[in-house]
Amino acid sequence: MKTISPADGVLIDLRVSPEFKMLFSRAAEIAGVSLAAFITESARQRAMDLVEQHERIVLNNQARDMFLKVMANQPAHGKALSRAVNRFAVK
């Protein structure tokens, strides 16, 4: 992944409560990074998690739809399969 330096980036204006700023600043201090780096990385990670979760749900829905379509449009059973079902059916 390409690293973007602050000079290459775009400005995002963000207003937060003084309490949030204190919390974010303290967390950034504990992490040993700047406030901007802490907020940027936290937002990036959350965004990646949400996108991954969304894609997983979408793919699961697509797989379900494909399965249901195949089940609804099954080909007719051949004679050999019908004989095998009759032969091994639990009575």
Indicate the helix (H) or strand (E) that contains 12: none
pLDDT at position 73, please?
A: 84
Residue 7 resides in a domain: no
Residue 49 resides in a domain: yes
Residue 10 resides in a domain: no
| Structural domain for 84, as ranges | 18-88
pLDDT digits (tens, 9 = 90+) for 35-82: 999 999 999 999 999 999 888 877 787 788 888 888 888 777 788 888
pTM for this structure? Answer: 0.58
Q: How many domains does the chain have?
A: 1
Position with higher pLDDT, 75 vs 11? 11
pLDDT digits (tens, 9 = 90+) for 13-33: 989 999 999 999 999 999 999
Both structure tokens of 85 = 């079902």
| CA–CA separation, 58 and 52 (whole Å) | 10
Assign 85 a pLDDT band (cuts: 50, 70, 90): confident
Q: Does residue 11 come out as left (phi exceeding 0), alpha (psi in the -120 to 50 range) or beta?
A: beta
Contact 55, 48 (CB under 8 A): no
Residue 2 resides in a domain: no
